[in-house]
Amino acid sequence: MSEPEREERLLRRIRAGERIESPEEMTEEYRHHLIHLMTMQADSELAGAFGYVPWIMKAPTIEEKHVVAQIVKDEVRHAHVMYGLLEDLGVKVAAHVARHDFTLRLDDAEADIGTQRVADDERVNIFYYPIDRWSDFVFFNFCMDRGAGHQLEDVRQCSYGPWARAIEGIFKEEKMHIRHGELWVQRLGADPATRGEAQGALDKWYVRTMNIFGRPGSARNALYRKHGLKLRDNDEVRGAFAREVKGLAEAAGLTVPDWTPAWDRLPEDAQIPG
């Protein structure tokens, strides 16, 4: 069977709602896109865990140290699950992890890298920013974990069966991380002594999270949707995230900042990830 015939057979199955279960059922294009998306998630889970580790010691109470330790454990487990799925597709995971520094963070906590990466791993670029204050930790949970949750909604219905099934457990744990952020946002926003710091943290992490979803109408996203690896355009997911955060922030006495898309701030020929 030729590659175009294999592709048409694969797409017919995906359109019919069937799940792909093994590498033998894939075309090379499908496998390539699947590996890229799962590597982004795996690298982000591991980099996120490493960024949280110092807060096991620095969290304000014993209870919170325990919560942070649990979040770190969850994120490492998520990375382990995702790398296991990648190994099933023939990825040399040990070599990949050894090749990259997942502890790498920007020196300038206030830097703005827009949608760009600063290294050659596949993590979502928000994981290059350091978490320097407890309010940063809180709003990272509140914004980025929520943004990831909106993206994982598509994965739960994706065409690759092993990933869709694995994501269910990951999704439940991410919801707990999000809830932790919500509780602390309400607490910080309600206290006049911490409301200003909370607003500053929201201003920073909201904008950084809005940048993770990719360009609207991207050609790469269209390919993902064609193969059933994503269901919605990047801007649909971003819009769902933005609406939810706006309501929750206002309920906590905070204001969502304005956001200017990176592609509106750069020359037309600049390369923006899809």
CA distance 142 to 92: 33
Work out the burial of residue 271: count CB atoms within 10 Å of its CB; fewer than 13 is exposed, 13-18 middle, 19 or more buried.
exposed
- 241: amino acid identity, one letter: F
pLDDT attached to residue 270? 34
Report how far residue 249's alpha carbon sits from residue 182's, in angstroms, rounded to the nearest whole number. 9
Q: What are residue 160's phi and psi, to 5 degrees?
A: -95, 110
> Is the CB of residue 235 less than 8 Å from the CB of residue 229?
no
Given the candidates 3.40.50.12500, 3.40.50.150, 1.20.1200.10, 1.20.1260.10, the CATH classification of the domain at 24-105+131-256 is 1.20.1260.10
Beta bridge pairs of residue 160 = 20
pLDDT at position 265, please? 56
Q: Where along the chain do its domains lie? A: 24-105+131-256
Tens of pLDDT along the chain (274 residues) come to: 787 889 999 999 999 999 999 999 999 999 999 999 999 999 999 999 999 999 999 999 999 999 999 999 999 999 999 999 999 999 999 999 999 999 999 998 888 998 889 999 999 999 999 999 999 999 999 999 999 999 999 999 999 999 999 999 999 999 999 999 999 999 999 999 999 999 999 999 999 999 999 999 999 999 999 999 999 999 999 999 999 999 999 999 999 999 988 776 543 333 333 3
**What pLDDT shows up at residue 233?**
96
DSSP 142: I
**So what's the pLDDT on residue 273?**
39
Question: What is the structure's pLDDT at 118?
Answer: 92
Q: Which SS3 state, helix, strand or coil, does residue 261 take?
A: coil
**Which DSSP state fits 104?**
-
**Is residue 160 helix, strand or coil?**
strand
